[in-house]
Structure 1
Amino acid sequence: MPKTEPFEKLTDHYDAWFEEHSGVYAEELEAIRRIMPPFKKGVEIGVGTGRFAAPLGIGLGLEPSKKMAQKAKERGIGIVEGCAEAVPLPDGCCDLALFVTTICFVDDVEKALGEIYRILQPGGHIVVGFVDRETPLGRKYQEHKEQSRFYKAARFFSAAEVLELLKKSGFTECVAVQTLFGPDLEHMKGGIKEGFGEGAFVAMRCKKPDA
């Protein structure tokens, strides 16, 4: 089952995080923008309150939480209700799928990536954004997740694991950038570097091979 309960109960608290940590949020957005390909029809899988889809020009979002979806609608996002493991969209309907801060919450990552692969056109791209478990912030989240309202049920991945999962799902031509260098949210330095292994937030783009 989608891990929606904390997001239903704490929607406003979740959304306020982006205002309270506006510098961190801006760096995450910039990392994603740095590797975003041109697209005509994009969808964000796990759109939440639309904090990424709206500024990135993505007009469609998949979201299982009704309260989160309502916030996204208020930001101009069209909503499809559903979960990442069973996306109610037709084959090859999109040329971009955004998957940001969602991979750690899905029940079956391989099934979710398979669904994203299915709905992408040949030559389309997936862009995944996530906290790398093998960084100081990632390890802190992992160690203290039982005390977190949102991350208690999360499963954190290393960047190497995400890359391997993407390749296993059939994606190719993967590139990555990283940002947020520091031990915790209060002491983060911004800037974008290629690759992964240092920055807490990683944005990774891969391609569905051309037909």
Structure 2
Amino acid sequence: MRWDVRAFDLFAPVYDSFMPPTDGVALRKALAVADREVDRVLDVGGGSGRVAGETGATVVDPARGMLRRARRRGLESVQASATDLPHPDGSVDAVVVVDAFHHFPAGQRCLSEMARVLAPGGVLVITDFDRGTRLGWALDRAERLVGFDSTFYTVSELESAIGSAGFEVKPIEYGFETTVAGVKPPADR
């Protein structure tokens, strides 16, 4: 088990006390770019469910401690890694990843897996910290100092990775905390 997952098991009881609230406006803007109705949502790397509570999403996370917190909130949750989602092909309308993508091992593989479970016209929403900003650079260094195996991206790297996974890239909001969406094109394109 990766240190990141063990650490989040340990941090689970106090996690929500230290994390800022989610930018609900950016999240709603990103979900709105979907080319289909958004009913079935996965919050991958969703931890305690702080985002899933706003979207009605199913929380997917490898850390049992975080999932216990999500279940206490009354949220549906599944223990799994972003590299191997236990959902059928094309079974969800949206996948959101908030403040977690930098913790995912094999980012491109995770993007391909999220594309697999999205239905055509569905949307992937990633909100994460931009390594290209001063604060992003500092956060990258700080997480390495505490032993996390994080991979932070610049905005252009994130957009390129999302595009390489077959999504139509839709920039939503730039800054230290960046939101980029990707729409899965129809199968005939």
TM-score (norm 1): 0.80
One-letter code of the match for 1:116?
A: M
Aligned equivalents of 1:173, 1:152: Cα separation in 2: 28
Q: Which residue in the other structure is 2:31 paired with? A: 36
Aligned equivalents of 2:167, 2:104: Cα separation in 1: 19
Q: Which residue in the other structure is 1:7 paired with? A: 8
One-letter code of the match for 1:85?
A: T
Aligned equivalents of 2:78, 2:141: Cα separation in 1: 34
Structure having the larger proportion of residues in helix: 2
For structure 2, list consecutive stretches of 5 or more residues without a partner in the other structure: none
Q: Which residue in the other structure is 2:47 paired with? A: 48
Deviation at 1:29, TM superposition (A): 2.8
One-letter code of the match for 1:49?
A: S
Q: Give yes or no for contact 2:26–2:172 (8 Å, CA) kept in 1.
A: no
Counterpart mapping for 1:196-211 below 5 A: 196=174, 199-211=175-187
Q: Which residue in the other structure is 1:143 paired with? A: 141
CA root-mean-square deviation: 1.6
How many pairs align? Answer: 182
Q: Give yes or no for contact 2:162–2:169 (8 Å, CA) kept in 1.
A: no
Q: Which residue in the other structure is 2:160 paired with? A: 164
Deviation at 1:108, TM superposition (A): 0.6
Aligned equivalents of 2:160, 2:95: Cα separation in 1: 18
Aligned equivalents of 2:15, 2:43: Cα separation in 1: 17
Query: Deviating runs (4+, > 3 A) in structure 1?
Result: none
Q: Give yes or no for contact 2:31–2:125 (8 Å, CA) kept in 1.
A: yes
SS in 2 for 1:205: strand
Q: Deviations over 1:84-110 (max 9, x none)?
A: 001011001001001111211111111
SS in 1 for 2:90: coil
Deviation at 1:15, TM superposition (A): 1.9
TM-score (norm 2): 0.89
SS in 2 for 1:123: strand
Aligned equivalents of 2:144, 2:113: Cα separation in 1: 30
Greater alpha carbon shift after TM alignment, 72-81 vs 46-55: 72-81
Q: 1:103 aligns with which of 80, 101, 113?
A: 101
